[in-house]
Amino acid sequence: MYDYIKTIIPEERILFHEPMSKHTTFRVGGEADCLIMIHEEQELAKLVRYLNQIEEAYFIVGNGSNLLVGDKGYRGIVIKLDGPMGEVETKGTVIRAGAGALLSKVAAQAKEHGLCGMEFAAGIPGSIGGAVVMNAGAYGGEMREVVKYVKLMTPEGKIIQKNTDEMHFGYRHSLLKEQPLIVLEAAIALVPGEIANIQSRMEELAAKRREKQPLEYPSAGSTFKRPEGYFAAKLIEDAGLRGAFVGGAQVSEKHCGFVVNKNQASSSDVYALIQEIQKKVRESSGVNIEPEVIFIGSFG
């Protein structure tokens, strides 16, 4: 298998036994059998066609900001969209961003060009690809409000394009949750504004994040989806879990909606704490809270 893959991808971008702790914002996770860094759409098309043909497991990552990988790692290939797959280009009021581009980079470029609409995303640690998959949002803004179209790849390596309506955006949901498609690029449609006002709004939101969120510890951001009619953080606090520990993982004392890697946690610590939170909240309030975090690998 790898002999063929080396004919598609330069060998220096194929990493064996790669610790996934290097590629997630939780800073935990065992080794992936192989991590491949993709720089071009053609490379990706050839690779996914081949992996699907031989039925080899693979998983696409961006910045790993919403991902928990088991301590035993991932038995398969992790594909990371990197280099040119993270380029950002602005034309008029539209920004074309590769799936590997960080949201913070796109927000910064929007500000530089005097474009409003991406301020909400400046402090979200994810990539454009992950943000589209999850319809990421914060402080009243969501990706569905700014995405004009998304360029996608099918499992057969075919490139297609979907407009916003076709993306089935909902709360932490998109078409990518329904079909096995890969985000290649998103076009972000913004509106002209004053750079000083955009900067001011970004600073205001950054100050709110520093005040309310435990940015000093590794985490995956908000750990749970918001249950309809409730706030996850309030349910967790009401269940008496503020500051609760499992191993090195903790329910943040600053914001109960965050599970943080407080003291060299393992993936198993984080996973066990998430399960404990779900159990205690269900017992306390009768509400099922669902993780935003995606789990890959073994947690048994």
Catalytic positions: 172, 222, 292
SS3 content of the chain, % helix, strand, coil (to 5): 35, 30, 40
Residue 185 DSSP SS3:
strand
Cβ neighbours of 151 (radius 10 Å): 18
Report the distance separating Cα 219 and Cα 231, nearest Å: 19
Cβ neighbours of 17 (radius 10 Å): 11
Question: What are the E-state strand segments in 86-164?
Answer: 88-91, 94-98, 115-116, 137-138, 141-142, 147-153, 159-163
Cβ neighbours of 203 (radius 10 Å): 12
Please enumerate, as own/partner, the contacts of 170-176 that have beta carbons within 8 Å and a separation of 24 or more: 170/135, 171/135, 171/225, 171/226, 172/134, 172/135, 172/136, 172/225, 172/292, 173/134, 173/135, 174/132, 174/133, 174/134, 174/135, 176/132, 176/133, 176/152
| Cα 231 to Cα 135, 238, 288, distances in angstroms | 18, 11, 12
Torsion from C-alpha of 240, 26, 118, 182, nearest 10 degrees? -120
Phi, psi torsion values for 188, nearest 5 degrees: -110, 120
Are the beta carbons of 172 and 225 closer than 8 angstroms? yes
